[in-house]
Copies of this chain bind each other. A is one copy, B any other.
């Protein structure tokens, strides 16, 4: 599991404070993403959409970034997924997520320039 990627600064704290819980989370993460029929990318898109629907800006940012950066999920794919957020969770989380997606796009472009 690339938890630094997916969950950010919280996971190293868990690893230090409670290694057994950390291992269990890694185990769960591996199991849930080991889908029978859906590929990793589609599952990740679903995770992005659920997090966006909950209105969690930072979690959504991180999931979008890792999905685009590591799994090759595209801007348009996330946008299509956010349409479902609009339908099932209303305007406020949708608009927030669209804005977050835009920030992710800009930060990725900026990060790539720096790494050249």
Q: Which residues of A contact B (CB under 8 A)?
A: 7-11, 13-14, 17-18, 20-21, 23-25, 27-38, 42-43, 45-47, 49-51, 53-56, 58-59, 74, 76-77, 79-81, 83-96, 98-99, 102
- Report copies per complex: 6
Which residue of the partner chain B has the closest CB to A77?
B37
Give me 19 other A-B pairs in contact (C-beta within 8 A), A21-B83, A90-B90 excluded.
A10-B95, A14-B95, A18-B79, A24-B24, A24-B32, A36-B80, A37-B76, A38-B81, A43-B83, A46-B84, A47-B87, A49-B50, A50-B89, A54-B92, A55-B56, A59-B95, A86-B90, A87-B90, A89-B90
Q: A33 — which chain B residues lie within 8 A by C-beta?
A: 83
Interface centre among A20, A27, A32 (most CB of B within 10 A): A32
Q: A23 — which chain B residues lie within 8 A by C-beta?
A: 27, 31
Q: A83 — which chain B residues lie within 8 A by C-beta?
A: 21, 31-33, 35, 43
CA distance A89 to B32 in the complex (A): 13
Minimum Cβ distance to chain B for residue A11 (Å): 7
